[in-house]
């Protein structure tokens, strides 16, 4: 016997130009079997009805056709083009609520697609649901296990935002599991094992000391979007440094992330990957031509990574040379086997057995590709123990941010003019201009790191610029 004929739960809008909730109203009356879904295109309506009927029967919950019932579902507002299938789960649960199978004490937001076997398919719209939950003061979200796991796997502060707003999640892989969790009020527990990342714009520290010259080269190249060529081993400290630099970079805050996700048609993974963390393009011989420009232009952190430099096609390499919106970091081995440097030769298991002539040919090929494109070169790095804590990486990210967004006027004095004149006879005008521009960027970077230094160009910056521009193997 049906005790509750009418029920209403919520879902979300996925239209690009709309932002809000979808109301799923369900009413079940006695009569000959009829299943009607209003407020949606009839073609989609027919598909949804078949999926819901099959899913409920496959999970042995109810057989909608066995009892003569008139089921009417209305999706409001009706003027929105509802093209996705994320309302399947909401409609199925509203039917179960009307038939006293389950019960919700408060309003809930439900998203999820259903397979004909009753499995819950992830939608990729959980960020939008969290935003609407906070905005409309709804405390419970029901979704697939895959959706919540996707959010939980990202290292960010969303957990604290969810906890602050007292939002609970009920998840399941199929209808039976989900319904049991609903009956038991079993909420999802976040792993919360990720380290909290501090917003770099809120922790300004100008006194960070970048003492290592190789680190200084990398920071300078990222600030000025110059390209750098690095001779390196796979687990060297430079690579670890870059990985941590990426990890501690924060593009936007969590509230901004939810707001952005709510107005974009992108799914959660794309939104998190693009707006919470920087995109780093890994370019190799598998990179397709039509993907290359997109990869280069959408690198939000401002650099791309080339892993297998020698296998890039000439066409792709020409396109990379034309692109100047980001810096290129290229890692390469110092010899064909990758073991020919000071650190490797300490280990008997990884000694280099390359012939000298093969190493020479290999380096000549690299030099041909490198010459005229890369601005800096880090060669034959010995693995040393540099201790960089979380605060250092945050400060370095802050330095990069300030360099790109704060105007600093580099001044000349009479001493600077005399130094430049002394180099005029040694370098052509075009080379001297390149040196002076780099020296000004070095002074600007030093000024941002330590404001005690005046913003006046000196011989020290010019000498360092000359040293950095000399790229010898």
pLDDT, one tens digit per residue, over 418-460 is 777 777 666 676 677 888 888 888 888 888 887 766 678 888 8
Question: Do residues 449 and 414 share a domain?
Answer: yes
pLDDT mean over 11-17 = 77
- pLDDT digits over 332-362, tens only? 666 777 665 444 444 445 567 777 788 788 7
Q: Which of 5-19, 56-70, 86-100, 430-444 has the lowest mean pLDDT?
A: 5-19
Residues 260 and 176 in one domain: no
User: Hey, is 332 helix, strand or coil?
Assistant: strand
Token pair in block for residue 108: 């809930």
**What are the structure tokens assigned to 95, written together?**
């039917």
Indicate whether 365 and 416 sit together in one domain: no
Most confident of 40-44, 92-96, 267-271, 288-292: 92-96
Domain that holds residue 304: 200-393
Which pLDDT score is estimated for 196? 44
Give me the residues paired with residue 70 across strands.
29, 34
Considering the domain architecture, whether residues 133 and 158 belong to the same structural domain is answered as: yes
Within-domain flag for 195: no
> Which of 451, 425, 423 minimizes the C-alpha distance to 438?
423
Q: 383 and 311 in one domain?
A: yes
Which of 11-20, 30-39, 263-272 shows the highest mean pLDDT? 30-39
For residues 139 and 160, give the distance between their C-alpha atoms in angstroms, rounded to a whole number: 15
Looking at 359, 393, 427, the residue that finishes a domain is 393
pLDDT (average), residues 7-17? 81
* Percent with pLDDT over 90 in the chain: 19
357 shares a domain with 421: no
- If asked whether residues 110 and 248 sit together in one domain, one would say no
Tell me if 113 sits within 8 A of 85, measured CB to CB: yes
Q: Does the predicted model carry a pTM greater than 0.75?
A: no
> Residue 365 in contact with residue 312, Cβ under 8 Å?
no
Q: What percent of the chain has pLDDT over 70?
A: 71
Between 296 and 465, the more confident residue is: 465
Q: Is residue 1 part of a domain?
A: no
Our count of domains for the chain comes to 3
| Domain contains 444 | yes
- Residue 5's closest CA among 22, 25, 23, 29? 29
In a domain, 402, yes or no: no
Q: Which of 125, 157, 183 is the last residue of a domain?
A: 183
| Torsion angles phi and psi, residue 332, rounded to 5 | -145, 160
Are 223 and 358 part of one and the same domain?
yes
Do 242 and 113 lie in one domain? The reply is: no
Residue 171: burial class (beta carbons within 10 Å; 0-12, 13-18, 19+): buried
Residue 270 is predicted with a pLDDT of 80
């Amino acid at each position: 016997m049906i005790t509750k004929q009418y029920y209403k739960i919520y879902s979300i809008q996925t239209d690009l130009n709309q932002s809000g909730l979808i109301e799923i109203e369900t009413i079940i009356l006695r009569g000959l079997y009829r299943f009607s879904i209003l407020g949606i295109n009839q073609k989609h309506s027919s598909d949804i009805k078949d999926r819901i009927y099959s899913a409920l029967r496959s999970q042995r919950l109810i057989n909608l056709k066995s009892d003569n019932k008139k089921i009417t579902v209305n999706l409001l507002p009706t003027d929105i083009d509802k093209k996705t299938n994320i309302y399947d789960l909401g409609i199925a649960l509203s039917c179960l609520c009307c038939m006293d199978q389950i019960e919700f004490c408060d309003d809930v937001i439900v998203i999820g697609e259903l397979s004909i076997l009753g499995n819950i398919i992830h939608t990729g719209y959980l960020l939008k649901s969290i935003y609407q939950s906070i905005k409309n003061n709804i405390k419970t979200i029901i979704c697939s296990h895959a959706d919540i796991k996707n959010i939980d796997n990202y290292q960010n502060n969303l957990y604290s935002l969810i906890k602050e707003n007292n939002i609970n999640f009920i998840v399941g892989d199929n209808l039976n599991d989900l319904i049991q969790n609903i009956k038991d009020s079993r909420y999802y527990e976040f792993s919360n094992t990720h380290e909290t990342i501090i917003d770099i714009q809120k922790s300004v520290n100008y006194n960070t000391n970048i003492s290592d010259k190789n680190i200084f080269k990398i920071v300078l190249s990222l600030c000025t979007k110059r390209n750098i060529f690095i001779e390196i081993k796979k687990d060297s400290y430079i690579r670890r440094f870059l990985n941590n630099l990426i990890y501690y970079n924060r593009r936007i805050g969590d509230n901004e992330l939810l707001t952005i996700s709510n107005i974009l048609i992108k799914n959660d993974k794309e939104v998190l990957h693009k707006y919470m963390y920087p995109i780093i393009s890994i370019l190799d011989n598998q990179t397709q031509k039509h993907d290359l420009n997109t990869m280069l232009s959408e690198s939000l952190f401002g650099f791309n990574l080339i892993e297998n430099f020698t296998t890039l096609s000439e066409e792709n390499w020409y396109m990379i040379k034309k692109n100047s919106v980001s810096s290129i970091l290229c890692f390469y081995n110092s010899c064909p086997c990758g073991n020919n440097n000071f650190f490797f030769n300490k280990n008997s298991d990884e000694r280099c057995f390359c012939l000298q002539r093969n190493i020479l040919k290999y380096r000549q090929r690299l030099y041909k590709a490198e010459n005229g494109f890369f601005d800096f070169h880090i060669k034959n790095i010995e693995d040393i123990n540099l201790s960089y804590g979380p605060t250092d990486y945050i400060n370095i990210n802050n330095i990069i941010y300030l360099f790109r967004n704060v105007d600093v006027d580099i001044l000349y004095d009479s001493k600077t003019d005399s130094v430049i004149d002394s180099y005029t006879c040694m370098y052509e005008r075009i080379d001297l201009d390149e040196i002076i521009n780099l020296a000004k960027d070095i002074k600007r970077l030093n000024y941002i790191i330590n404001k005690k230094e005046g913003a006046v160009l000196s011989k020290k910056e010019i000498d360092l610029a000359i040293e950095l521009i000399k790229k010898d193997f």
